[in-house]
Every structure is written in structure tokens, then in C-alpha cells.
Structure 1
């Protein structure tokens, strides 16, 4: 009796085909000289600008600013979520949460964007065609054989035109995905920022100020012998 294994092998064959396409695209990208073109563009940026961008992005995406699941959802806290009825306290809570959880919110938005993109075949095909166009144009300009309307197009001219064309194309391809992901993540972020009471983290990374019974008086802890 023959056993049909096509259903079990289909996912493997699909994955193998996808990996083959990705490897082929990478080889064509490397052989087209696209990396050299990108390196030349990067080399033209002033060093001061590079240093500023590096420092800014390093601080913005500092991994220490990514809050753990325990902190993000207040696991183990007595009342991690509740409705704040005072407008002033609610505004203060939202401002603090946006500052404290901003990297978690950015990752949530990026994740929703990627998940929405995966279920949009037209956008994936469009991005693939756009990448293929970049590879073709870079190859042709390097050979000096890219001619439009009887005029040879240099690599700088082609790159500038492609940047503008790519921006417009991505805008039309991804605008629906972008707005859907932005609205979905915005709703979730507002709900979390409005309900999550992270006041115990007000002073920084999991730092809690211990205050005594008398208002404004810091309690004595851990071998404080001032009162002895």
C-alpha cells in the first residue's frame, strides 16, 4: 500500500524554494556591485554626521531601555493596571509610560507592520520587483550600457532617480499596511499607557524610592545607624 507523503514534504519543499530564491537574490546583489555603490554613498557622508547619528541611534535603541515582559505587564505587582480617574494623574501616567516603554511600543509597531506585510502578497511581490530593478540598473550603469531616450545614464543619475521612484512606489505599496499597523499599534499603546500603573519605576530602571511613614522623610534601611 503506497503512502502519500506529499502533504508532509510540501512545507519542506516550499521552504527550500524560498531559501533558494533568497540565496540567488543575494548572489545577484553581491555580483551587481550594489554593495560598492552603498559603500560609496556612505563614504560621502561627513564623519561628524556619522558620529552624531551613531550616538543618537545608540542611545535611542539602547537595549537597557527595553523593558522585560514582567515590567511591561507588571507581573507580580498588586495593581499593575487600573483606571485612573484624575485627569492630571492620567496625563502624568501616560507621559511617563511613553518615556519608559517607548522601545517596547516601537517593537510592537514594527512587529504588527511585519505581520501585516506577510499577509499582503502584492506588497511582497512589489518589493521583490523593486529590488530586481535596483540590481538591473546598477549592473547596466556599471557597464555604461543604460541608455534612455538616446542618452547614456550615469550611475549617480540612475541612483537619484531610483531613490525617488522607490520612495513613491513604497509609499503606494505600503501605505495601507503602514496605516493599519500604525492604527492597531497606536490603539494598543494608548490602552497600555493609560491603564498601566508603572509609578514604582518612576525614577528609572526598576529603582524604587522607599519612603517612611512621615511624609517627606526617608525611612532608615540597611545598617543606617544615625538614630542609634
Structure 2
């Protein structure tokens, strides 16, 4: 590679790094503003100021508020997927433990700032027509990916009822989002955690039943 090619590559890389850094600062600032101010009071100007980015620089990355809000949703949704690839698990008990642990992991992520900002955006879609037009496709894609991942893990532990797993995932996500909102409003973590523990016991019972059903089906085959 010639010296000019090396320089050009380094310039492109540094530009990409600067762009990624700016986008990350803007998303972090948007999360902070959404949690402190709410959706309506979170403007592009307040986000740019919080991020230490010029308005022009911000508009170059995110031409509209909705564009930035969708980026926040994507970031927040990725937070509970960064550990989605299971470690090398060979023992059936380890696979089951990992499958059950996903509920705790998701709950922890849902009570952190990015996920709380995502809830704020989801609620805002009721009154922001542009957001309402764009958010559902992204949200549905995220949730479908979540169901696919959980179904793949369920198969690893021997579950054969896909419909039950997908219904469980839908119920758990809706319930945990509701509990996260209750925690935000009441601040009563002890009460919320008791409700979450009940949700986990439901999952344990359901998975036990599904595994017994699958075992019975194999025995009678």
C-alpha cells in the first residue's frame, strides 16, 4: 500500500471514529434529557447543548428529533442483546440455567437509563404522529428478533412448543415494562421486585410444564 493510500485510509478511519463518537455523545445526551425532562421538553437544542455538539453538527448526524429518538430506541434495545450470544454450554442443566437467567438480565436492563428513555419514546408515539408512523416497524422487528432468540434457546433445553414460548416472551416484556414504569412513578422497588419474583415463578412453572410435555411426547413416539 502506498503512503497516500495509507494516509487516506487513516483519514477515513479517523472520520468514522469521530462520527461514531459524536453519535454516541448525542444518543447519551438524548437518554439523559428524556429521563430528566420528558419527551416534550427534550428538544434538539437541549440535546445538542447537553452533548457539547453544535446544532449543525447534530443535524448532520440526525436531521430530525424523530431520527435521533429512533437511534435511542435502537441503542436501548441493543443493551439487553449485547450478551445475547450464550457461552459454550454443553450441560443440560447449564443450558436451562442460562435460559432462565435471561429474565433477570432483561429486567436489569429495563430499569437502566436507556431503557427508561425508550419507554418515554414509546409513550410519546401516542401524540407525535411522525414518531407513530416510524416506530412500530422498528419496535416489531426488535421484538420479533427477541422472540426468535428465545425460541432458539428454548429448543436447546428441549422445549417444543413455539407458540407458548412466544406468548411467554410477549407477556414478560409487557409485564416488565409495566413494572419499570411503576418503579419510575412510585419508587417502591421492594413492591416491584415482589411482583417481578411472581413473574419469574410463572416462567419456572411454565417451562417445567413444557419440558414435561416434550418428554412425554418423546416417550410415546
Larger radius of gyration: 1
Greater relative contact order (Cα < 8 A, sep 6+): 1
TM over 0.5: no
Higher helix share: 2
TM-score by length of 1: 0.27
**Alignment TM-score, normalising by the size of structure 2:** 0.27
